[in-house]
Structure 1
Amino acid sequence: MIMEQRLTAEEQLTLKTGAFGAVFLVANADPGVLALVKESFAASGAMADSAGVVKEALTSGPLPNLRHDSALEIESVVLPALGRAVGILREKSPADVATYREVVLGAAERVALADQGMAPAEAAMIERIRGALDQPA
């Protein structure tokens, strides 16, 4: 039996960077000012539904720094962070891998559906996020 281990602050930030970054990428795949407010509420609801190690990581500590000049730069940070986050959980809290994956994809999908349904660009970004989460360890 594998025991759950506490995550370091750096590991928590990696989980948070992946999750918050995924939401950011989907929200910006089909931007709109009014939509952003609806999308923010949708994402926060999905993250609030998390539990255990995942909830602790997503609701404590500093927010990730996602300031970059372009969506491609942000994507180059977020997608690898998602893969690292899954790897961290596989090592330290394997039972929480599915929870993290569900929370990230759930938040991304809620964001995409929050304003007039899912746009093709949002669906494509969600597939990229799913691919990052599914990378083998």
Structure 2
Amino acid sequence: MERLTDEERFTLKTGAFGAVFLVSNADPGIFAMIRESFAASGVMAGASGVVKEALTTGPQPKLPRDSSSEVESMVLPALGEAVEILRRKSPPDVSTYRSVVLTAADEVARAHGGVSPAETAVIERIRAALGDRPAPPVED
């Protein structure tokens, strides 16, 4: 296993935190966002090895605040790039990263009484970006 650079760790973090942000914004609500952030932070803190180091150290990613599509255009490629970085440098951690991101996204979606269709659609795009299955069509 090769050590990740600061930039590579930041890419993993941008993908993971951005995925949580996308799910949270798919069905917004201020009280829901508080519960969602606790749900996601617990999952990410429970990661191990390289993935935990990447998600718990360094600066927080700065995500665009203007539109969900801007955030998606930054986050989904970061997820794919994160998987490629791990494939090259720490192959056993690819499944850990996918699992942490998808579990955190799922926990966020469930944090306020069930998963909405909008959250399900975002989670499917996250899953596709992680290379877990083909991307579904984006609905306008």
Name the TM-score, length of structure 2 as normaliser. 0.93
1:1-137 correspondence runs (5 A):
4-134=1-131
Q: Which runs of 5+ in 2 are unaligned?
A: 134-140
* Equivalent residues of 2:23, 2:123 under 8 A apart: yes
Superposed CA RMSD: 1.1
Structure 1: gaps spanning 5 or more residues: none
What is the rounded CA distance, in whole Å, between the counterparts of 1:54 and 1:48 in structure 2?
10
The 1-side partners of 2:35 and 2:132 are apart by 30
Deviations 1:34-61 (A, max 9, x none): 0000000000011011000000000000
SS of residue in 1 equivalent to 2:86: helix
Query: Aligned residues: percent identity?
Result: 67
Cα displacement (A) at 1:68: 3.6
Q: Which amino acid aligns with 1:43?
A: A
C-alpha contact 1:13 1:64 (8 A) present in aligned 2: yes
Higher RCO, 1 vs 2 (CA within 8 Å, ≥6 residues apart): 1
TM superposition shift of 1:69 = 1.5
- Deviations along 1:73-108, one digit per CA (max 9) or x if unpaired, are 000000000000000000000000000000000000
TM-fit CA distance, 1:135: 6.7
Aligned length: 133
Give the AA of the match of 1:86.
V
C-alpha displacement of 1:67? 2.5
Which AA in structure 2 matches 1:71?
Answer: S
- SS of 2:92's partner is helix
Determine the C-alpha separation between the residues in 1 that align with 2:38 and 2:132.
Answer: 29
